[in-house]
A and B are shown apart, each in its own frame.
Chain A
């Protein structure tokens, strides 16, 4: 919201108060300063108020005139092309050699054969405001021969206003608060609508269909106004400099009142209202209105309109209709000042995409008394400048609403000054408390004669400060007027029973530290995705959670898996010529599990390319399936977990987690134990063709279900005795039939040793795939925890193992 400091200072009656000081105060009071624009006094100090003595036609040009000017002492002749110049006019003159606001120097110039000595200027040329439709048309309050800096030494600031403070949406509201801060009183004559009611005029016909739409509607019919009159220049200046164009005297006055009081009023041409009545109602679906901005709007049922007997004449609180607007010939008018439902105004404005000064104010709410004040001011200004007399009057109000407003005010707020002192961290003394709140228009009820004894006070805030309801609101007013700089900085005590590093953070940190050390880069993706991205999951329709009102189709569902995001990241980096690529994400996935909603953290891993880190030694390691297996297996080891691997889905219960469709992947599953009920991680070989991926090298993806893992990790670590006896090593070669997996052999061997109570390590040291069998070499490390195994004992154990393996048609290969 824009403010003119010149205007503020006039209300405050402090002409010499420094502008910067006022700006500081406004900011301290809680209004963020968004911009500051100073009028250029260098230019204005050279501009003189002159009178146009005579206007003659230019002998050589149709559209130009010769103006004889006087500043009271000297006379000049200029050539002028402005459409609004007339004899006797007071305007602004810049003599040759002086500057305009855009930096141009005015030079004596021959225009069509006549020398023009200086020029008459528009508001834009002087940097006052953005209007170049004609030269300044000043009124008689401007002294002939004086310079303009005297009148326009102004600073325009743009401030942000809080959403709950409708009492500060005009110059008056802000000025009142600044006045308190600088200990200055603003003199205002009390004005109430009572004097209007006392006139006992006929009622104006206003019908409010539902009080939900409108809590109060003041309508004043004024007849015989003159909308062709000229308003004093200060009105024109103030509305224009604050960003509103001059339209006509009546419209300008209504805008002026809005900027001053902070409540928006509207003026209808009475003669354009069918049957001379006003109805406040919901719009009919599909109803249209041609608004003052020249656009036609199609309305919806939840919008409020002002209508006459036949059609809408305004969109309430937002913009007027063309069909009812005042024009040059308007004689009889209706002034509207009303309280509209602010959330409806907000929604309407958003749906129609209209932003007006009126909607800016109405969506923040409006005050009962401000509504009244705006009506009175508008009426007074119109009759003062445009003439006319009031002939009908109406003040429709929702009395229930008024009762709730005042009941709160009557009950008051119990304020404990001792509590507030400790809450704010500085002493709030009784007298300054009372002074502040009385200045804010509140009533204060004391219980004791002795001023300082009053530490618990009943406060009755003013009607138009509905935002003051609790002691906390009172505290805010005190803090705001005292200044937050005055409040000390303290550190609160350590109140918790104990503090230790958070388990969750510690766990995730451990995992991320491990993965980054392994060369994985952490990525963070959006958790929303497209329907297509979720389609890689089996039964995605049942599992997924949709957004009701998505920003776009690209982000219309919560992701079921980290896979699609990671694949997207991989492709982006591949296209950026980055290789090798190893990415990990610690992120949430979301799914429905029967009736339950699950959101859980998972770890996603994706790898691609060649790790050429031994390149010059001609030892290239590829990021492949087994690399990713290694990463996951060591991760599980790091966390202290045992696991069982399986290439088939042998889960005893259906895996409830979203699962990548086998059409796109081949997978290996890590289970917690042989029961295969708890799944820890999965590794996938991606079928590139099925996903239409244009990447030359294979892609591998892994998922680690860390929330489940976290629950399984044993936090209590305990020491086990170190073994005293050495391992015995044996290399064995086998011929393995095609249908037997390595995992199976590993399981057989390890359970064999386990039954014999022997420590063992099995290392696959060679592997060859032949046509219908494979040959493998296994290096075994065996150890008895109680003694050193002899050669004989070892041979015996191995011979039994070989027999055992024969059951599975696994043959020892003789060398």
Chain B
């Protein structure tokens, strides 16, 4: 008996283990090597015949090998146990063809405009805005006059506004509201400040249908009126909003604009989502796209609802739901939203 002999035995044992194909095979190997009359047992028995010095060295070697082989034994046994379990379960359930398709429930989706709408109002709810509603059939006075839109303003033309065949009232002609701003008037006439609300709804314009225009679309109006409302509040709220809606990293900017019912009036741009601000055809090489109009409530509008300017100030904004959905989902033709092709709706 020597070192070579021991290593040879180890090698034979491992080979036998490797070839074992079942728990039974492993058991056979175990008996052959580790059984009471097994080869390894025999090697231990022979130890006593060696000189002391050699006995120490060979004995240690033998112990190490036994430990190593036992570990491999355990792993091998475990691996067989798992295999055995699986095959038994399969035998029990063999009546089912498990790979057949699952029940194909009909898929129901909310319209993409609804999804975007819900997302927008949720963000403004976090910011502490209430929700208010107003009618789509509106008085000329609320839609225009009270909002400081002069009588000769182009928006009032028959070419821009859809009027209804209804008798004129003491609050002017009846029309389909051209923006959600008249809801501002309704809210301010009914409630005292503090007012902090968004006002969603459908609006109408006298437009022929094309890829960029519809005669009806959806807007969300925002209004905050209280003592000490600042221009910086408007910037803060809207920046918070576009970050929440698009992404934290998105850059935005404010530009001077003109609306009769706000002063100062601004437009908000966000970094172009297509080129990420590098310039492309969508943003006309400016790196920015316009997303909404806003401003500080015009003093005349506040006077019209009986609120004193300087004592009260406020901000207002209006955004198009379709516009936000188009930017978010990269849709180029606005008419798609109203075709209601399920192949379109189910994408979102």
Binding site for B on A (CB under 8 A): 27-35, 162-165, 342-343, 346-347, 350, 416, 419, 422-425, 470-473, 475-476, 479-480, 484-485, 487-492, 494-496, 499, 501-502, 504-505, 509, 512, 515-528, 545-552, 555, 558, 569, 572-573, 576, 578, 580-583, 588, 590, 597, 599, 611-616
Contact = CB atoms under 8 A, between A and B. Distances in A.
A524 B339 contact: no
Contacts of B266: 484
Given A480-B256, A509-B118, A526-B216, A471 B230 contact: no
A473 B304 CA distance: 17
Given A495-B196, A516-B110, A30 B256 contact: yes
A787 to B, nearest CB: 42
Given A479-B256, A526-B216, A548-B162, 7 more contacts: A423-B231, A479-B231, A492-B236, A495-B128, A548-B163, A573-B341, A613-B105
Contacts of A522: 108-111, 114, 345
B208 to A, nearest CB: 6
A33 B286 contact: yes
Given A470-B309, A521-B345, A588-B136, A488 B235 contact: yes
B236 A163 contact: no
Pick the 9 closest A-B CB pairs, nearest first.
A30-B256, A519-B106, A343-B152, A425-B232, A476-B264, A162-B258, A516-B108, A495-B194, A523-B340
B141 interface: no
Interface stretch (B1-9, B24-32, B79-87, B292-300): B292-300
Contact of B166 (A419, A473, A597): A597
Interface in B227-274: 228-233, 235-237, 239-240, 253-258, 260, 263-267
A476 B216 CA distance: 32
A27 B287 CA distance: 14
Contacts, number: 250
Residue among B103, B108, B152, B204 having the largest count of chain A Cβ atoms under 10 Å: B108
A504 B298 CA distance: 30
A484 B114 contact: no
A526 B209 CA distance: 11
Interface string B198-217: 00001010111100001110
A528 B215 contact: yes
Nearest to B311: A419
Given A495-B196, A545-B164, A551-B206, A424 B299 contact: no
Contacts of B342: 521, 573, 576, 578, 581, 583
17 contacts: A27-B255, A29-B256, A162-B256, A164-B258, A485-B254, A487-B232, A487-B254, A491-B236, A499-B128, A519-B108, A521-B111, A522-B111, A524-B111, A548-B163, A572-B340, A597-B137, A613-B106
A99 B115 CA distance: 56
A480 B264 contact: yes
Contacts of A496: 128, 130, 194, 196
A760 B15 CA distance: 74
B113 interface: yes
A657 B215 CA distance: 26
Contacts of A509: 118
B50 interface: no
A133 B209 CA distance: 41
Interface stretch (B61-69, B88-96, B153-161, B182-190): B153-161
A165 B343 contact: no
Contact of B215 (A476, A551, A582): A551
Interface residues of B, number: 90
A444 to B, nearest CB: 20
Contacts of B280: none
B131 interface: yes
A455 to B, nearest CB: 13
Contacts of A346: 152, 154
A465 to B, nearest CB: 14
Given A33-B286, A423-B231, A499-B125, A491 B206 contact: no
B310 A524 contact: no
A526 B334 CA distance: 13
Contacts of A599: 135-137
A32 B338 contact: no
A489 B232 contact: yes
Nearest to B155: A163
B73 interface: no
A616 B215 contact: no
Most buried by A among B133, B310, B342: B342
A611 B106 contact: yes
Contacts of A518: 108
A504 B110 CA distance: 17
B284 interface: yes
A706 to B, nearest CB: 14
B100 interface: yes
B207 A551 contact: yes
A588 B218 CA distance: 13
B284 A516 contact: no
A488 B164 CA distance: 44
B268 to A, nearest CB: 10
A527 B296 contact: no
B45 interface: no
A491 B237 contact: yes
B314 to A, nearest CB: 10
A339 to B, nearest CB: 14
Contact of B253 (A30, A163, A485, A515): A485
A612 B257 CA distance: 56
B231 A35 contact: no
A736 B253 CA distance: 75
Contact of A519 (B107, B157, B343): B107
Interface centre among B130, B233, B264, B341 (most CB of A within 10 A): B264
B100 A616 contact: yes
Nearest to B322: A524
A488 B230 CA distance: 10
